[in-house]
Structure 1
Amino acid sequence: MIKKQRDILQNCRHLIFETYNRDWLEFVTQSRLGNTPWVGFDYIEGGVADDRVVNIIRLYMSGVISAGEALNRLQYYKPANQICLLNQELTNLYLNFVESDTIDNL
């Protein structure tokens, strides 16, 4: 972890999922059910529930497989990481626009 990231985390309410684990699975499941497990956090980081793993999540949510089986299947995937900034002050302080490029229509 870089120094700037450590500084950010010391000054905010954060949640970090290092792997696809039970807490991550429940967080994603609750989010997909329309609940708001992110409320109360400024910064959340963890694996994306992308096309590679969404079928496993669907099987778990529908009761076809258990949490244990879902996690067993997820162990074969390396998370594609994402960061969610939920606090505008954090965004203003640490996120800076660097540049943009124009892409011509083909």
Structure 2
Amino acid sequence: MPADAEAPTPDGPTERLRGRLCRERVDAGSKSERVALLLALTGGGRVALRRAGANPFRDPELEALEGQVLIVEGERRERYFLVRHYRVGDDDDGASG
């Protein structure tokens, strides 16, 4: 089992991701086009974040953390990562990209 994976939950396997929170336009040219919160991963990938129990289109709690390094735990879904828990990380851990 990878170091960042944990025991499965009823919703799916729990993962831990680390990256810098940013806002970018997603789904350009479609009805779903919007500016979304993304986690820019240290490996160069990006994943849309949605906090469990929060509004999927506007999350002031996460928006306030834009530009910071986050460590998020949750489940990967088809088009986003469902965040169950998060914490602010340190820039000096090499996560700044």
Fold match, TM over 0.5? no
Query: Whose Rg is larger?
Result: 1
Name the TM tier (shorter chain). under 0.3
Structure 2 length-normalised TM: 0.24
Structure 1 length-normalised TM: 0.23
The structure in which a higher percent of residues are strand is: 2
The structure in which a higher percent of residues are helix is: 1
